[in-house]
Amino acid sequence: MKEALQYSETEGRNFSREELVTLLSLTDADEIAALFKEAFDCKIRTRGDKVYLRGLIEISNICRKNCLYCGLRHSNISVRRYELDDETVLKEAGFAYDAGYGSVVIQGGERRDGEFISRIESLLRGIKKKGNIGITLSLGEQTDETYRRWFEAGAHRYLLRIESSDRNLYARIHPDNNLHSFDERLACLESLKKNGYKVGTGVMIGLPFQTFENLADDLLFFKETGVDMVGMGPYLEHDMTPLYEYRNLLMSGHERLLLSLKMVALLRLMMPDINIAATTAMQVLDPYGREKAIMAGANVLMPNMTDPDNRENYQIYNNKPGINDDAEITKSKIIENLESFGIRIGWNEWGDARPVDNRQ
Ligand code: 5AD
Ligand code: SF4
Protein backbone atom coordinates (compact mmCIF):
# COMPACT_ATOMS: atom_id res chain seq x y z
CA MET A 1 0.00 0.00 0.00
CA LYS A 2 3.05 2.29 0.26
CA GLU A 3 3.09 3.41 -3.38
CA ALA A 4 -0.11 5.37 -2.76
CA LEU A 5 0.65 8.55 -4.66
CA GLN A 6 2.27 7.10 -7.77
CA TYR A 7 -1.03 7.40 -9.67
CA SER A 8 -3.11 10.35 -10.75
CA GLU A 9 -5.47 11.11 -7.91
CA THR A 10 -8.36 12.11 -10.17
CA GLU A 11 -8.23 9.02 -12.31
CA GLY A 12 -7.65 6.67 -9.46
CA ARG A 13 -5.95 3.33 -9.27
CA ASN A 14 -6.13 0.88 -12.13
CA PHE A 15 -6.21 -2.43 -10.33
CA SER A 16 -6.31 -5.59 -12.41
CA ARG A 17 -9.02 -8.17 -11.78
CA GLU A 18 -6.43 -10.44 -10.14
CA GLU A 19 -5.21 -7.68 -7.82
CA LEU A 20 -8.77 -6.92 -6.80
CA VAL A 21 -9.48 -10.56 -6.03
CA THR A 22 -6.33 -10.70 -3.88
CA LEU A 23 -7.27 -7.53 -2.01
CA LEU A 24 -10.86 -8.67 -1.48
CA SER A 25 -9.49 -11.90 -0.02
CA LEU A 26 -7.21 -10.22 2.52
CA THR A 27 -7.47 -11.80 5.96
CA ASP A 28 -4.60 -10.15 7.82
CA ALA A 29 -6.07 -7.54 10.18
CA ASP A 30 -3.12 -5.12 9.74
CA GLU A 31 -3.29 -5.30 5.95
CA ILE A 32 -7.04 -4.71 6.01
CA ALA A 33 -6.61 -1.74 8.36
CA ALA A 34 -3.92 -0.32 6.02
CA LEU A 35 -6.27 -0.64 3.05
CA PHE A 36 -9.05 1.18 4.91
CA LYS A 37 -6.67 3.89 6.08
CA GLU A 38 -5.34 4.47 2.56
CA ALA A 39 -8.90 4.75 1.21
CA PHE A 40 -9.89 7.11 4.02
CA ASP A 41 -6.87 9.35 3.36
CA CYS A 42 -7.64 9.31 -0.36
CA LYS A 43 -11.18 10.47 0.35
CA ILE A 44 -9.96 13.28 2.60
CA ARG A 45 -7.61 14.52 -0.13
CA THR A 46 -10.12 14.34 -2.96
CA ARG A 47 -13.55 14.89 -1.37
CA GLY A 48 -12.69 16.43 1.98
CA ASP A 49 -13.61 15.18 5.42
CA LYS A 50 -17.36 15.85 5.36
CA VAL A 51 -20.15 13.35 5.00
CA TYR A 52 -23.19 14.45 3.00
CA LEU A 53 -26.66 13.57 4.15
CA ARG A 54 -29.62 12.71 1.94
CA GLY A 55 -32.98 12.45 3.66
CA LEU A 56 -34.68 9.26 2.51
CA ILE A 57 -38.38 9.26 1.61
CA GLU A 58 -39.73 5.75 1.07
CA ILE A 59 -42.65 6.88 -1.07
CA SER A 60 -44.32 3.54 -1.78
CA ASN A 61 -43.67 -0.17 -1.35
CA ILE A 62 -45.84 -1.12 -4.30
CA CYS A 63 -43.66 -2.89 -6.87
CA ARG A 64 -44.38 -4.64 -10.14
CA LYS A 65 -41.19 -6.66 -9.96
CA ASN A 66 -40.35 -9.95 -8.37
CA CYS A 67 -36.62 -9.85 -7.60
CA LEU A 68 -35.80 -13.12 -5.85
CA TYR A 69 -33.99 -11.43 -2.94
CA CYS A 70 -36.32 -8.58 -2.01
CA GLY A 71 -39.07 -8.54 0.61
CA LEU A 72 -41.08 -6.02 -1.38
CA ARG A 73 -41.39 -8.31 -4.39
CA HIS A 74 -44.79 -8.34 -6.00
CA SER A 75 -45.59 -11.91 -4.98
CA ASN A 76 -45.00 -11.31 -1.28
CA ILE A 77 -48.62 -11.03 -0.24
CA SER A 78 -47.75 -10.63 3.44
CA VAL A 79 -46.66 -7.00 2.86
CA ARG A 80 -49.18 -4.27 3.61
CA ARG A 81 -48.78 -2.02 0.60
CA TYR A 82 -48.81 1.75 1.03
CA GLU A 83 -48.31 4.93 -0.89
CA LEU A 84 -47.51 8.20 0.86
CA ASP A 85 -49.84 11.04 -0.02
CA ASP A 86 -48.51 14.30 -1.47
CA GLU A 87 -48.82 16.12 1.81
CA THR A 88 -46.62 13.57 3.61
CA VAL A 89 -43.97 13.61 0.89
CA LEU A 90 -43.83 17.40 0.95
CA LYS A 91 -43.73 17.38 4.75
CA GLU A 92 -40.79 14.98 4.74
CA ALA A 93 -38.97 17.03 2.09
CA GLY A 94 -39.58 20.08 4.29
CA PHE A 95 -38.11 18.22 7.24
CA ALA A 96 -34.97 17.47 5.21
CA TYR A 97 -34.66 21.10 4.24
CA ASP A 98 -35.13 22.39 7.79
CA ALA A 99 -32.83 19.71 9.18
CA GLY A 100 -30.05 20.93 6.86
CA TYR A 101 -29.79 17.64 4.96
CA GLY A 102 -29.43 19.64 1.74
CA SER A 103 -30.74 16.82 -0.38
CA VAL A 104 -33.46 14.15 -0.50
CA VAL A 105 -33.83 10.73 -2.06
CA ILE A 106 -37.25 9.55 -3.17
CA GLN A 107 -37.15 5.80 -3.23
CA GLY A 108 -39.88 3.31 -4.00
CA GLY A 109 -40.90 0.12 -5.71
CA GLU A 110 -41.01 0.10 -9.49
CA ARG A 111 -44.23 1.39 -11.07
CA ARG A 112 -44.83 2.60 -14.57
CA ASP A 113 -48.47 3.63 -14.56
CA GLY A 114 -49.21 7.08 -15.99
CA GLU A 115 -50.77 8.29 -12.78
CA PHE A 116 -47.66 7.50 -10.75
CA ILE A 117 -45.34 9.07 -13.33
CA SER A 118 -47.33 12.32 -13.37
CA ARG A 119 -47.55 12.34 -9.59
CA ILE A 120 -43.78 12.13 -9.22
CA GLU A 121 -43.43 14.91 -11.76
CA SER A 122 -45.69 17.26 -9.81
CA LEU A 123 -44.12 16.29 -6.48
CA LEU A 124 -40.70 17.17 -7.88
CA ARG A 125 -41.97 20.62 -8.80
CA GLY A 126 -43.57 20.96 -5.35
CA ILE A 127 -40.34 20.05 -3.55
CA LYS A 128 -38.33 22.45 -5.70
CA LYS A 129 -40.62 25.27 -4.57
CA LYS A 130 -39.55 24.65 -0.96
CA GLY A 131 -36.01 25.77 -1.58
CA ASN A 132 -32.69 24.81 -3.02
CA ILE A 133 -32.80 21.13 -2.23
CA GLY A 134 -31.11 18.44 -4.34
CA ILE A 135 -33.37 15.59 -5.41
CA THR A 136 -32.30 12.04 -6.14
CA LEU A 137 -34.78 9.51 -7.46
CA SER A 138 -34.61 5.77 -6.98
CA LEU A 139 -37.73 4.44 -8.68
CA GLY A 140 -36.42 1.68 -10.86
CA GLU A 141 -36.46 1.13 -14.58
CA GLN A 142 -38.48 3.65 -16.56
CA THR A 143 -38.74 4.71 -20.18
CA ASP A 144 -36.41 7.30 -21.64
CA GLU A 145 -39.38 9.67 -21.82
CA THR A 146 -40.18 9.28 -18.11
CA TYR A 147 -36.55 9.86 -17.12
CA ARG A 148 -36.59 13.00 -19.27
CA ARG A 149 -39.82 14.30 -17.72
CA TRP A 150 -38.59 13.75 -14.18
CA PHE A 151 -35.27 15.40 -14.95
CA GLU A 152 -37.04 18.44 -16.36
CA ALA A 153 -39.23 18.59 -13.26
CA GLY A 154 -36.16 18.91 -11.02
CA ALA A 155 -34.59 15.52 -10.26
CA HIS A 156 -30.88 15.65 -10.91
CA ARG A 157 -29.57 12.35 -9.58
CA TYR A 158 -30.86 8.81 -10.06
CA LEU A 159 -29.94 5.60 -8.30
CA LEU A 160 -30.39 2.34 -10.16
CA ARG A 161 -28.33 -0.54 -8.91
CA ILE A 162 -27.06 -3.06 -11.41
CA GLU A 163 -27.29 -5.54 -8.46
CA SER A 164 -24.57 -7.65 -10.11
CA SER A 165 -22.56 -6.79 -13.20
CA ASP A 166 -22.35 -10.50 -14.05
CA ARG A 167 -25.27 -11.36 -16.32
CA ASN A 168 -25.31 -14.99 -15.19
CA LEU A 169 -25.49 -14.06 -11.53
CA TYR A 170 -28.09 -11.40 -12.39
CA ALA A 171 -30.15 -14.13 -14.03
CA ARG A 172 -29.90 -16.34 -10.94
CA ILE A 173 -31.28 -13.66 -8.62
CA HIS A 174 -34.09 -12.47 -10.86
CA PRO A 175 -37.04 -14.28 -12.43
CA ASP A 176 -36.58 -15.36 -16.01
CA ASN A 177 -38.87 -12.94 -17.84
CA ASN A 178 -38.59 -9.65 -19.71
CA LEU A 179 -39.58 -7.63 -16.63
CA HIS A 180 -36.19 -8.55 -15.19
CA SER A 181 -33.69 -8.07 -17.98
CA PHE A 182 -30.00 -7.34 -17.46
CA ASP A 183 -29.82 -5.62 -20.85
CA GLU A 184 -32.78 -3.43 -19.99
CA ARG A 185 -31.04 -2.41 -16.76
CA LEU A 186 -27.91 -1.45 -18.71
CA ALA A 187 -30.03 0.48 -21.22
CA CYS A 188 -31.69 2.40 -18.37
CA LEU A 189 -28.30 3.41 -16.96
CA GLU A 190 -27.36 4.69 -20.41
CA SER A 191 -30.65 6.56 -20.76
CA LEU A 192 -30.20 8.22 -17.36
CA LYS A 193 -26.75 9.42 -18.32
CA LYS A 194 -27.98 10.69 -21.67
CA ASN A 195 -30.77 12.63 -19.98
CA GLY A 196 -28.28 14.52 -17.84
CA TYR A 197 -28.59 12.80 -14.47
CA LYS A 198 -25.76 12.16 -12.11
CA VAL A 199 -26.03 8.41 -12.15
CA GLY A 200 -25.65 6.11 -9.18
CA THR A 201 -25.52 2.35 -9.26
CA GLY A 202 -24.42 -0.45 -6.99
CA VAL A 203 -24.45 -4.12 -6.14
CA MET A 204 -25.23 -6.48 -3.31
CA ILE A 205 -22.28 -8.14 -1.64
CA GLY A 206 -22.20 -11.70 -0.33
CA LEU A 207 -25.04 -13.02 -2.49
CA PRO A 208 -25.43 -16.76 -2.77
CA PHE A 209 -23.43 -18.02 -5.81
CA GLN A 210 -21.34 -14.80 -5.89
CA THR A 211 -17.55 -15.10 -6.19
CA PHE A 212 -14.69 -12.68 -5.46
CA GLU A 213 -14.20 -12.54 -9.23
CA ASN A 214 -17.79 -11.31 -9.61
CA LEU A 215 -17.13 -8.56 -7.07
CA ALA A 216 -13.85 -7.57 -8.75
CA ASP A 217 -15.80 -7.30 -12.01
CA ASP A 218 -18.41 -5.15 -10.26
CA LEU A 219 -15.69 -2.68 -9.26
CA LEU A 220 -14.30 -2.66 -12.79
CA PHE A 221 -17.83 -2.15 -14.13
CA PHE A 222 -18.30 0.97 -11.96
CA LYS A 223 -15.06 2.37 -13.28
CA GLU A 224 -15.78 1.53 -16.92
CA THR A 225 -19.26 3.07 -16.83
CA GLY A 226 -17.93 6.19 -15.10
CA VAL A 227 -20.74 6.42 -12.57
CA ASP A 228 -21.02 9.40 -10.22
CA MET A 229 -22.28 7.53 -7.16
CA VAL A 230 -22.23 4.01 -5.84
CA GLY A 231 -24.40 2.50 -3.13
CA MET A 232 -23.59 -1.06 -2.25
CA GLY A 233 -24.11 -3.18 0.79
CA PRO A 234 -24.29 -6.70 2.10
CA TYR A 235 -27.01 -9.01 0.86
CA LEU A 236 -29.33 -9.81 3.75
CA GLU A 237 -31.85 -12.61 3.95
CA HIS A 238 -35.59 -12.07 3.84
CA ASP A 239 -37.59 -15.11 4.85
CA MET A 240 -40.45 -14.43 2.43
CA THR A 241 -38.27 -14.54 -0.69
CA PRO A 242 -37.14 -17.41 -2.94
CA LEU A 243 -33.44 -16.70 -2.33
CA TYR A 244 -33.93 -17.52 1.36
CA GLU A 245 -33.70 -21.16 0.36
CA TYR A 246 -29.96 -20.67 -0.26
CA ARG A 247 -29.14 -19.07 3.10
CA ASN A 248 -26.87 -22.02 3.97
CA LEU A 249 -24.53 -20.86 1.17
CA LEU A 250 -23.96 -17.45 2.74
CA MET A 251 -20.89 -16.14 4.49
CA SER A 252 -21.40 -15.01 8.09
CA GLY A 253 -22.80 -11.53 8.64
CA HIS A 254 -19.41 -10.40 9.91
CA GLU A 255 -17.68 -11.62 6.76
CA ARG A 256 -20.28 -9.99 4.52
CA LEU A 257 -19.80 -6.67 6.28
CA LEU A 258 -16.01 -6.89 6.10
CA LEU A 259 -16.22 -7.70 2.40
CA SER A 260 -18.55 -4.72 1.90
CA LEU A 261 -16.06 -2.43 3.64
CA LYS A 262 -13.25 -3.75 1.42
CA MET A 263 -15.42 -3.05 -1.64
CA VAL A 264 -15.92 0.55 -0.44
CA ALA A 265 -12.21 1.04 0.20
CA LEU A 266 -11.12 -0.38 -3.15
CA LEU A 267 -13.71 1.64 -5.03
CA ARG A 268 -12.55 4.83 -3.32
CA LEU A 269 -8.98 4.13 -4.48
CA MET A 270 -10.21 3.37 -8.00
CA MET A 271 -12.62 6.33 -8.25
CA PRO A 272 -11.37 8.95 -5.78
CA ASP A 273 -13.88 11.69 -6.52
CA ILE A 274 -17.24 9.91 -6.68
CA ASN A 275 -19.90 9.68 -4.00
CA ILE A 276 -19.96 6.39 -2.15
CA ALA A 277 -22.81 5.63 0.24
CA ALA A 278 -22.56 4.08 3.67
CA THR A 279 -25.70 1.95 3.35
CA THR A 280 -28.37 0.93 5.82
CA ALA A 281 -27.74 -2.77 5.14
CA MET A 282 -24.30 -2.30 6.73
CA GLN A 283 -25.98 -1.04 9.88
CA VAL A 284 -28.03 -4.24 10.10
CA LEU A 285 -24.89 -6.33 10.52
CA ASP A 286 -23.17 -3.91 12.89
CA PRO A 287 -24.72 -0.91 14.69
CA TYR A 288 -21.69 1.10 13.55
CA GLY A 289 -21.46 -0.50 10.10
CA ARG A 290 -22.11 2.78 8.30
CA GLU A 291 -19.57 4.73 10.34
CA LYS A 292 -17.03 1.99 9.60
CA ALA A 293 -17.81 2.41 5.89
CA ILE A 294 -17.15 6.14 6.20
CA MET A 295 -13.82 5.35 7.85
CA ALA A 296 -13.07 3.11 4.83
CA GLY A 297 -13.85 5.76 2.20
CA ALA A 298 -17.62 6.32 1.98
CA ASN A 299 -18.89 9.92 2.11
CA VAL A 300 -22.70 9.84 1.83
CA LEU A 301 -25.33 8.67 4.30
CA MET A 302 -29.09 8.56 3.93
CA PRO A 303 -31.06 9.18 7.12
CA ASN A 304 -34.53 7.69 6.86
CA MET A 305 -37.39 10.16 7.25
CA THR A 306 -40.32 7.78 6.83
CA ASP A 307 -42.90 7.70 9.62
CA PRO A 308 -42.67 4.61 11.87
CA ASP A 309 -46.14 3.51 10.66
CA ASN A 310 -44.83 2.96 7.16
CA ARG A 311 -41.22 2.09 7.95
CA GLU A 312 -42.16 -1.37 9.04
CA ASN A 313 -43.81 -1.97 5.69
CA TYR A 314 -40.67 -1.09 3.75
CA GLN A 315 -38.60 -4.13 4.60
CA ILE A 316 -36.50 -5.22 1.67
CA TYR A 317 -34.65 -7.52 4.11
CA ASN A 318 -35.27 -8.80 7.62
CA ASN A 319 -34.18 -6.82 10.71
CA LYS A 320 -34.34 -3.35 9.20
CA PRO A 321 -32.88 -1.07 11.90
CA GLY A 322 -34.62 1.89 13.55
CA ILE A 323 -38.07 0.62 12.67
CA ASN A 324 -39.78 2.49 15.51
CA ASP A 325 -37.84 5.72 15.09
CA ASP A 326 -39.23 8.83 13.47
CA ALA A 327 -37.28 11.32 11.36
CA GLU A 328 -36.24 13.40 14.38
CA ILE A 329 -34.91 10.46 16.40
CA THR A 330 -33.13 9.05 13.35
CA LYS A 331 -31.43 12.40 12.89
CA SER A 332 -30.24 12.70 16.48
CA LYS A 333 -28.93 9.12 16.52
CA ILE A 334 -26.99 9.71 13.31
CA ILE A 335 -25.45 12.91 14.59
CA GLU A 336 -24.45 11.17 17.81
CA ASN A 337 -22.95 8.18 16.02
CA LEU A 338 -21.02 10.30 13.52
CA GLU A 339 -19.72 12.54 16.30
CA SER A 340 -18.51 9.53 18.25
CA PHE A 341 -16.29 8.69 15.26
CA GLY A 342 -15.19 12.32 14.85
CA ILE A 343 -16.91 12.51 11.44
CA ARG A 344 -17.99 15.97 10.21
CA ILE A 345 -21.29 16.59 8.45
CA GLY A 346 -21.74 18.76 5.33
CA TRP A 347 -24.85 20.58 6.51
CA ASN A 348 -26.99 22.23 3.81
CA GLU A 349 -24.77 20.98 1.01
CA TRP A 350 -25.81 18.97 -2.03
CA GLY A 351 -22.49 17.17 -2.00
CA ASP A 352 -22.33 16.37 -5.70
CA ALA A 353 -19.44 14.39 -7.04
CA ARG A 354 -16.85 16.79 -8.36
CA PRO A 355 -17.48 17.18 -12.09
CA VAL A 356 -14.50 15.83 -13.99
CA ASP A 357 -14.17 16.06 -17.74
CA ASN A 358 -12.64 12.66 -18.20
CA ARG A 359 -15.84 11.01 -17.04
CA GLN A 360 -18.21 12.81 -19.42
N1 5AD B 1 -30.48 -7.54 0.93
C2 5AD B 1 -29.75 -6.44 0.66
N3 5AD B 1 -30.11 -5.51 -0.23
C4 5AD B 1 -31.27 -5.70 -0.87
N5 5AD B 1 -31.89 -4.97 -1.80
C6 5AD B 1 -33.04 -5.56 -2.13
N7 5AD B 1 -33.18 -6.69 -1.42
C8 5AD B 1 -32.11 -6.80 -0.64
C9 5AD B 1 -31.66 -7.76 0.30
N10 5AD B 1 -32.38 -8.84 0.57
C11 5AD B 1 -31.30 -3.76 -2.36
C12 5AD B 1 -31.15 -3.88 -3.87
C13 5AD B 1 -32.05 -2.79 -4.39
C14 5AD B 1 -32.11 -1.84 -3.24
C15 5AD B 1 -33.31 -0.97 -3.25
O16 5AD B 1 -32.13 -2.67 -2.11
O17 5AD B 1 -29.80 -3.64 -4.23
O18 5AD B 1 -31.54 -2.15 -5.53
FE1 SF4 C 1 -39.09 -4.15 -6.45
FE2 SF4 C 1 -36.68 -2.99 -6.12
FE3 SF4 C 1 -37.49 -4.96 -4.50
FE4 SF4 C 1 -36.87 -5.56 -7.02
S5 SF4 C 1 -35.43 -4.74 -5.44
S6 SF4 C 1 -38.68 -6.27 -5.91
S7 SF4 C 1 -37.57 -3.71 -8.08
S8 SF4 C 1 -38.40 -2.94 -4.66
pLDDT at position 2: 44
Query: Are residues 174 and 68 in contact, defined by beta-carbon separation less than 8 angstroms?
Result: yes
- Report which protein residue has its CA nearest ligand 2's atom 2: 109
Task: Please tell me the total number of residues recorded for the chain in this structure.
Answer: 360
Alpha-carbon distance values, 162 to 57, 140, 200, 242, 284 (Å): 21, 11, 10, 19, 22
- Tell me the pLDDT of the chain (360 aa) as tens digits: 444 445 567 789 999 999 999 999 999 999 999 999 999 999 999 999 999 999 999 999 999 999 999 999 999 999 999 999 999 999 999 999 999 998 999 999 999 999 999 999 999 999 999 888 899 999 999 999 999 999 999 999 999 999 999 999 999 999 999 999 999 999 999 999 999 999 999 999 999 999 999 999 999 999 999 999 999 999 999 999 999 999 999 999 999 999 999 999 999 999 999 999 999 999 999 999 999 999 999 999 999 999 888 999 999 999 999 999 999 999 999 999 999 999 999 998 878 775 433 332
Q: How far is the CA of 251 from the centre of ligand 1 (A)?
A: 17
Q: C-alpha angle 88/306/337, rounded to 5°?
A: 140
* d(C-alpha 360, C-alpha 357), whole Å: 5
pLDDT at position 355: 46
pLDDT at position 17: 98
Q: How far is the CA of 146 from the centre of ligand 2 (A)?
A: 18
pLDDT at position 357: 34
Alpha-carbon distance values, 123 to 44, 92, 135, 140 (Å): 35, 12, 11, 17
pLDDT at position 6: 52
Q: How far is the CA of 73 from the centre of ligand 2 (A)?
A: 6
236 Cβ closer than 6 Å to some ligand 1 atom: yes
For residue 163, which atom of ligand 1 is closest to its CA?
17
Question: Global pTM?
Answer: 0.95
- Report which protein residue has its CA nearest ligand 2's atom 5: 70
